Structure 1
């Protein structure tokens, strides 16, 4: 399950003792997703997509304008 850590400006997803991370910056009503990281052992399981989609849903609920410096998030935004 994705956990939002607003004090660290990130979303995390923990599995099998490892942590996947999606970092962001917030400026006014704009959120910029800056970095996605999934540990090597967890790659290929769709965890980054879960993390990103949960974060994008949260941003929508907050009425934020979404931007992405991270190529992975940008690909999902452009679907």
Structure 2
């Protein structure tokens, strides 16, 4: 079994779509959110099978939370994965 190398792709913030994305080889790891005034709800993370186990979801969540804190948003997570980072 081959070692899974870390992926050095950049996190892209697609504000018009309310999501953060890491594109890799035609696939996308995604963190979606909903903005309502100063309130943000991180509602979905998705990593395709081809990209799992490489730490992409964690990178997306840490990036998204850092951005939301910098914007001084009131942060909530209806996504179970993001909730783990808010404890």
User: Between Structure 1 and Structure 2, which shows a larger proportion of helix residues?
Assistant: 1
**Which residue matches 1:6?**
15
Alignment size in residue pairs: 78
**Which residue matches 1:27?**
36
User: Between Structure 1 and Structure 2, which shows a larger proportion of strand residues?
Assistant: 1
SS in 2 for 1:45: coil
After TM superposition, the score normalised by the length of structure 1 is 0.94
Deviation for aligned residue 1:23: 0.7
Counterpart mapping for 1:55-70 below 5 A: 55-70=64-79
1:8 and 1:17 mapped to 2: Cα distance? 18
When the two chains are superposed, the root-mean-square deviation of aligned CA atoms in Å is: 0.7
Does residue 1:49 correspond to 2:58, yes or no? yes
Structure 1 segments unaligned to the other structure (5+ residues): none
